[in-house]
Amino acid sequence: MAIHIVDRRLNPGSKSLENRQRFLRRAKALVQGAVKKSSQSRDIKDVLEGGEVSVPIDGMDEPRFRREGGTRDMVLPGNKKFVEGDILPRPNQSGGKGRGAGEGDSEDTFRFVLSRDEFVDLFLDDLELPDLAKRKLAEVESEGIRRAGYTTSGSPANISVSRTVSRALARRVALRRPRPEVLEALEAELLDCSEERRAELMAEIETLKSKMRRIPFIDPIDIRYRRFETVPKPVAQAVMFCLMDVSGSMTEHMKDLAKRFYMLLYVFLKRRYRHVEIVFIRHTDRAEEVDEQTFFYGPASGGTLVSSALQAMHEIVRSRFRPADWNIYAAQASDGDNSYADGEVASRLLTDNILPVTQFFAYLEVGQENGLSYEMPNSALWTLYEGLRASGAPLSMRKVNERSEIFPVFHDLFQRRGPQERTAS
């Protein structure tokens, strides 16, 4: 029986859903490159809204079959220069809209509008938490289904035809059920035989038919159904600590850069990992664990003691996140200022308590507006962390001055790496 399925879901934006998905699969690399290029000049809010990207037309060609083939003869109108056998020169590789009249090269582009989900998915597609290891399975929120043999009862939709037929055949062979070919041969012999032989044949035929009725072709005891059972899905537990300096040395521009980095990190974690908990810690000369709203928008001022944030993280790990059960990650943003008297305490906390239990520690140092990240002098905190990284600590460091640098730095920190690249970052 034929089954016809009609998909009545509405297409997004009055466009063909099937063609749109096919295009995204075929041109994923091109669209993803366009998304990365477009994201460099966007704000976090703009990223969450999707938008229009430009894809080069040259990379969108797909193979096609042509009905004609071999050598073809063509007559091109307007030819006054070439005769048969001449080699035509290759045309100039330029097209589209040039930079001026008769100058510069350009390429034709195809503009494509991405939805919010499509844009964020493509931007985060090749990012991941480094070295996410399955230390212990989390408590299961949902269950998966897997095949678990066969059963004698179930839904008709789950009948295993092959298993049912094989068991029916084995039963018929074991009980010596008469084969239809034998019965047909006896009935053919009955057409021209003597009266004495006819009586014997009729008795034999009746016996075989009676036995066939007692041994059906398929019996209810032969029917087998595919059996499924629910199993827990193993999920790795992870926690990300977000530490941010909100002291008086942090200008509004610096705080804005740090908040944009963490907003992007927050979107990345929530979208890519279902079982990642996020802990927000902000600090001046004292640290406090806050909620998301307070972390991003709550006012604060004061001095700077980085050790207060590290101590708060250590206490939270010790009370709520056992390192044997959790994958622990941390990301810190600061302008690099710190009390010199606090450097030794911060170093001891990192070396003895924080870094030994973390898979990854990322430090983002924010600078003044209109500066260059590679011209930023090494701050006290940068020098401290650089020394720890040189000793082999799992710590990555980047500097940023402008909003446009947030996306490349974030992508650089969390891109997929090989084992050797992870240790070198």
Averaged pLDDT, 392-404: 81
β-pairing verdict for 327-334 and 238-245: parallel
In the predicted model, what is the mean pLDDT of the chain? 76
pTM of the model: 0.54
Using a 10 angstrom Cβ sphere, with 0-12 exposed, 13-18 middle and 19 or more buried, the burial of residue 164 is middle
Token pair recorded at residue 59: 């990379």
Does position 103 have pLDDT exceeding 80, yes or no? no
Q: Can you tell me the distance from the alpha carbon of 129 to that of 124, in angstroms, rounded to the nearest whole number?
A: 11
| pLDDT-derived band at 166, boundaries 50, 70, 90 | very high
Do the bridges between strand 276-283 and strand 287-290 make them parallel or antiparallel, or are there none, so unpaired? Answer: antiparallel
> With 90 as the cut, is the pLDDT of residue 317 above it?
yes
Least confident of 70-84, 205-219, 256-270, 350-364: 70-84
Q: CB neighbours (10 Å) of residue 276?
A: 18
Percent helix / strand / coil, the chain, rounded to 5: 45, 20, 40
d(CA 425, CA 420): 9
pLDDT band at 235 (very low <50, low <70, confident <90, very high): low
b/e string for 186-208 if b means 16 or more Cβ within 10 A? eeeeeeeeeeeeeeeeeebbeeb
pLDDT band at residue 134, thresholds of 50, 70 and 90? Answer: very low
Question: Strands (DSSP E) along 138-233, which ranges?
Answer: 143-151, 225-232
φ, ψ (nearest 5 deg) of residue 77: -70, 155
> In sequence order, what are the beta bridge partners of 56?
109
Range with the lowest mean pLDDT among 91-100, 184-193, 232-241, 409-418? 91-100
What pLDDT does residue 425 have? 47
Report CA torsion sign: 188, 191, 195, 199.
positive
Rounded to a whole number of angstroms, the distance between the first and last alpha carbons of the chain is 60
Taking the C-alpha atoms of residue 12 and residue 33, their distance in angstroms, rounded to an integer, is 23
How would you classify residue 28: left for phi > 0, otherwise alpha for psi between -120 and 50, otherwise beta?
alpha
